[in-house]
């Protein structure tokens, strides 16, 4: 059957072109190169190609379906929480997540640590706590809590246990009493840092704008001993006070005494103190941190007392320490030989020097005392006002209030500084009753402006000395 088929094309070729015998001879060769078995082999090729095409299409569709299925899980959001009744964990409690129609979309049971979590799509839900699964001695204040879930953000849900608290409103008298106690504490801290500043002005006439950086530096040194070295905060503070005394003496011996011997004017020395403050402040920023760094001790404090008289042990200790130290300074100024010499130099330096008092020695002692008090005040300020944290510009924030206090009490007088700083601290804290706490330091600036306008010499200052 194949031979007539192979010979048929040459016959037609001869009829088409009878003058060429070569074409009729070559035609069979061309037909032999056109394999006749191809039509027979094309039968299995088409199913294989079709099957391959179907396989590729199925693989592509499967990939799309698989991608859609994989993206469904990330669309769910985790709603979680921890059940705690005070310090006790509440395990084996059943919880449900219901949608707006009341249908349950997820359930969970709290673990032995009280933790639970439910994965739900974005939407609005109500987390229901099964009160029957609670222990007999545990009561939840509200067992249904609404929650709005948005994509990609886990949402915590907190259930409160125990009796429902009532009477959260505080009377004006109670609030003012609490603010007055806080003001006394804050005023004592300002006083303990401002006494040294006042004594420096009284004995040398220098308005030291770098005194705030002594406060910051003392707190930073105490933080280094406490956190980096590992000492408890009390011995770390004592060591920091020693370092603060040394820094104060280094200021006097290395900078201010040479400037006085060169008869540098007070205005020029004031400008030098501003430059020194900037240098110290930004050196602290470079080598310490631009963030608040906490002490290792006295972080979590429970209040003692009740109502407006509730106070943490740290704040109570700050008040007691400040009162004891300020009384010791007052006794030193009145009863000791160096204290009388300090008051004599502050009243009349030339007369004190002609009376045989070593003025340079007295001024050196004043700088040492100012450095130690600034260090102690910095630690107290960090513990009571900054939540036990040290900030690189904390002393700069306190500097305005120190100037306001010593100006109010009387420049150059230690007792005036005590009284003025106490009044400033009290007024600043009481101002938060009507102002935002972030604006309370404005009160110090207003006091400074008013006092300089009405009575520049201050409460206990002498008009003759100021003039």
Mean per-residue pLDDT, 294-313: 82
Least-confidence region, from 227-231, 325-329, 351-355, 431-435:
431-435
- Helix, strand, coil tally for the chain in percent (to 5): 65, 10, 25
Hey, what are 363's tokens? 């001024």
State how beta strands 77-82 and 84-85 pair.
unpaired
pTM beyond cutoff 0.85: no
Mean per-residue pLDDT, 317-339: 93
Residue 103: DSSP 8-state:
-
In the block, residue with structure tokens 């009740």: 306
Mean per-residue pLDDT, 179-195: 92
pLDDT value at position 310? 84
Mean pLDDT, rounded, of the chain = 81
Per residue in 83-121, pLDDT tens? 988 778 889 999 999 988 888 989 999 998 889 999 888
Which of 139, 272, 261 is CA-nearest to residue 210?
Answer: 272
The answer to whether 340 and 348 have CB atoms below 8 angstroms apart is: no
pLDDT > 90: percent of the chain: 39
């Amino acid at each position: 059957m194949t031979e007539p088929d192979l010979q048929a094309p040459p016959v037609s070729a001869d009829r088409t072109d009878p003058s060429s015998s070569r074409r009729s001879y070559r035609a069979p060769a061309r037909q032999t190169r056109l394999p006749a078995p191809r039509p027979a082999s094309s039968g299995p090729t088409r199913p294989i190609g079709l099957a391959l095409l179907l396989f590729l299409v199925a693989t592509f569709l499967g990939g799309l379906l698989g991608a859609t299925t994989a993206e469904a899980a990330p669309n769910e959001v985790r709603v979680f929480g921890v059940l705690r009744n005070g310090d006790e964990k509440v395990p084996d409690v059943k919880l449900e997540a219901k949608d707006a129609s009341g249908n349950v979309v997820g359930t969970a049971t709290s673990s032995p640590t009280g933790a639970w979590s439910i994965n739900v799509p974005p939407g609005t839900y109500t987390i229901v706590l099964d009160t029957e699964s609670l222990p007999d001695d545990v009561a939840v204040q509200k067992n249904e809590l609404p929650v709005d879930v948005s994509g990609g953000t886990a949402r915590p849900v907190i259930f409160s246990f125990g009796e429902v608290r009532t009477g959260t409103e505080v009377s004006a008298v109670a609030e003012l009493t609490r603010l007055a106690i806080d003001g006394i504490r804050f005023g004592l801290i300002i006083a303990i840092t401002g006494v040294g500043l006042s004594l420096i002005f009284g004995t040398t006439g220098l308005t030291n704008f770098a005194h705030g950086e002594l406060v910051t530096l003392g707190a930073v040194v105490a933080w280094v001993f406490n956190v980096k070295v590992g000492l408890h905060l009390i011995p770390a503070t004592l060591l920091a006070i020693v370092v603060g005394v040394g820094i104060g003496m280094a200021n006097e011996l290395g900078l201010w005494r040479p400037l006085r011997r060169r008869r540098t004017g007070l205005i020029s020395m004031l400008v030098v103190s501003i430059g020194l403050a900037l240098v110290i402040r930004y050196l602290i920023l470079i080598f310490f941190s631009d963030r608040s760094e906490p002490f290792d001790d006295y972080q979590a404090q429970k209040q003692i007392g009740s109502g407006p008289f509730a106070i943490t042990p740290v704040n109570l200790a700050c008040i007691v320490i400040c009162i004891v130290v300020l009384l010791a300074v007052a006794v030193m100024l009145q009863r000791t030989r160096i204290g009388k010499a300090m008051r004599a130099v502050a009243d009349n330096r030339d007369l004190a020097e002609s009376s045989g008092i070593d003025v340079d020695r007295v001024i050196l002692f004043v700088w040492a005392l100012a450095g130690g008090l600034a260090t102690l005040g910095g630690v107290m300020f960090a513990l009571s006002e900054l939540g036990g944290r040290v900030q690189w510009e904390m002393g700069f924030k306190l500097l305005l209030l120190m100037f306001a206090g010593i100006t109010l009490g009387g420049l150059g007088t230690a007792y005036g500084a005590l009284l003025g700083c106490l009044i400033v601290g009290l007024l600043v804290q009481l101002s938060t009753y009507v102002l935002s706490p972030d604006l309370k330091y404005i009160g110090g600036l207003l006091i400074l402006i008013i006092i300089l306008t009405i009575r520049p010499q201050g409460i206990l200052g002498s008009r003759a000395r100021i003039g």
